[in-house]
Amino acid sequence: MGTHQNTIVSSFTETRRLRLPSHVAHALHGACLHGYRHHPRQALLEKTQQTLQIRTHPRRRGTRQLDFPVVLVQIPMFNEKEVYKISIGAACGLSWPADRLVIQVLDDSTDPAIKLLVEQECQRWGSKGINITYQIRENRTGYKAGALKEGLKRSYVKNCEYVAIIDADFRPDPDFLRRSIPFLVHNPDIALVQARWRFVNADECLLTRMQEMSLDYHFTVEQEVGSATHAFFGFNGTAGIWRIAAINEAGGWKDRTTVEDMDLAVRASLRGWKFVYLGDLQVKSELPSTFKAFRFQQHRWSCGPANLFRKMVWEIIQNKKVRFWKKVYVIYSFFFVRKIIAHMVTFSFYCVVLPLTILVPEVKVPIWGAVYIPSVITILNSVGTPRSIHLLFYWILFENVMSLHRTKATLIGLLEAGRANEWVVTEKLGDAVKKAAEAVKNKTNAKAPRRFRIKFTDRLNTLELGFAAFLFLCGCYDFVHGKNNYFVYLFLQTITFFITGIGYVGTII
């Protein structure tokens, strides 16, 4: 082993010694979460001993590499011109011995120019001694799931124990593997270690701020609680490390829905595998900053789970390997409440029922049900992003608008209608907007990024405009004849629907 690699191994060993209390804490946390509830003292002792099995005695020659399992890193991408260098560079910069790391760039791009750029980037890193392969397919069968599945078929993958999945706009820190792999090494019943997302463009526009609030709540509350209470939580599709044996046992990647990540997580959980979420392990990523890209993403994220619920509910019920209450949690809490009913209740109550009650005076909605309880619930949603609490009211209005699209997508998924399996890759702009702004500021035309101006008519969203008109009429009626002053909310919601209806949300390109 060369001097450079010896240095890396030595650094890894010393790092683990220096951070022993942190690793012990993490291992004890994993013990409490996954299967050691009945004998806590024995569990703590066993897990502590397991974690303390770091070599403190002189090593024998030739045993240094045993500390480092072979890890596969998969980077799926599709026409990612603006961000492909980000993920490839981050993966190649991971602090892990070169001969214990295999990087796959799974390129499904249809643009020959972009494919050439990605291939050249892979060759550039390969010339530096990085074990990186550029892999393409004849067609996009199965989309992302198909690409990941094809990547695992390579002969060299049989030597890999774990696979890290990194989307094209994600950029893990160099210590990403060092901080996550030990959980899998010391806990053979753990299949997945999920990291938290952090967003590099959260301040780009109001749309990205709204997304940050929703996703921070998801990670801070939903994922954290799911892990801490020993319950099921889903794989987020990226910034996670899987045990390859668990993927194979669960049946591998399947492309029957547009949420292949959730599909695999549910199947692995039904076979008794456990997951760990690390809130302090954060991976930088990019939020979609155009409203069109955000709508497509939300359609997939809402339609896919509903469609998966339709296809898996009987499989979950008939499963014999997990406890009854875990099946109840997955079916009722994870799928039915959070992925289906939540969208429908929000939309039907605030955008349909409440406005209609204004037109029918005999029907009264108590103010505690319309204002007080929803306000408390909404405030709780801001715990993940305290810096944006002043945007909470607008976030409510915007979420009500998006509940329209999520409800529509959920129904499409449940009924398996025409767009149930539609996969549109979320467009990421990378530094294109920033470079364009700098070019304008500097008044230079030297290779300034091209800006695509969308016609005003292409930005119009008739569904939102229709609801804006409906809510406006209800607000006017309440202003003249109402007694509860709901017109204040209705007019504000009308404005929000109108703004989204004319497409002036997010970054305008």
Catalytic residue among 67, 107, 167, 261: 261
Catalytic residue among 67, 108, 169, 478: 108
- Is the distance from CB of 98 to CB of 66 less than 8 angstroms? no
Q: What is the DSSP letter of 74?
A: E
Answer yes or no: 255 catalytic: no
- Is the distance from CB of 506 to CB of 294 less than 8 angstroms? yes
Answer yes or no: 216 catalytic: no
**Which residue type sits at 312?**
M
| Residue 17 CB partners (closer than 8 Å, separation 6+) | 54, 56
Class of residue 308 by CB neighbours under 10 A (exposed 0-12, middle 13-18, buried 19+): buried
Q: What is the DSSP letter of 19?
A: T
User: How far apart, in whole angstroms, are the C-alpha atoms of residue 345 and residue 338?
Assistant: 11
**Which residue type sits at 294?**
F
CA distances from 83 to 87, 112, 195, 308, 317 (A): 7, 16, 20, 30, 42
User: How far apart, in whole angstroms, are the C-alpha atoms of residue 1 and residue 489?
Assistant: 68
- Is the distance from CB of 96 to CB of 177 less than 8 angstroms? yes
User: How far apart, in whole angstroms, are the C-alpha atoms of residue 66 and residue 222?
Assistant: 36
Which of 426, 378, 384, 422 has its CA nearest to residue 398?
Answer: 378
- Is the distance from CB of 195 to CB of 176 less than 8 angstroms? yes
The backbone torsions φ and ψ at residue 55, rounded to the nearest 5 degrees and listed phi first, read: -65, 110
CA distances from 158 to 153, 161, 245, 296, 397 (A): 9, 8, 10, 36, 50
Which of 191, 187, 141, 147 has its CA nearest to residue 166?
Answer: 147
Which of 92, 87, 68, 71 has its CA nearest to residue 8?
Answer: 68
User: What is the per-residue burial (b if ≥16 Cβ within 10 Å, else e) of 95-117?
Assistant: ebbeebbbbbbbbbbeeeebbeb
User: How far apart, in whole angstroms, are the C-alpha atoms of residue 238 and residue 255?
Assistant: 16
Residue bearing tokens 């526009």: 205
| Residue 501 CB partners (closer than 8 Å, separation 6+) | 460, 461, 462, 463, 464, 465, 468
User: How far apart, in whole angstroms, are the C-alpha atoms of residue 111 and residue 96?
Assistant: 33
Residue 480 CB coordination number (10 Å): 8
Known catalytic residues are 108, 261
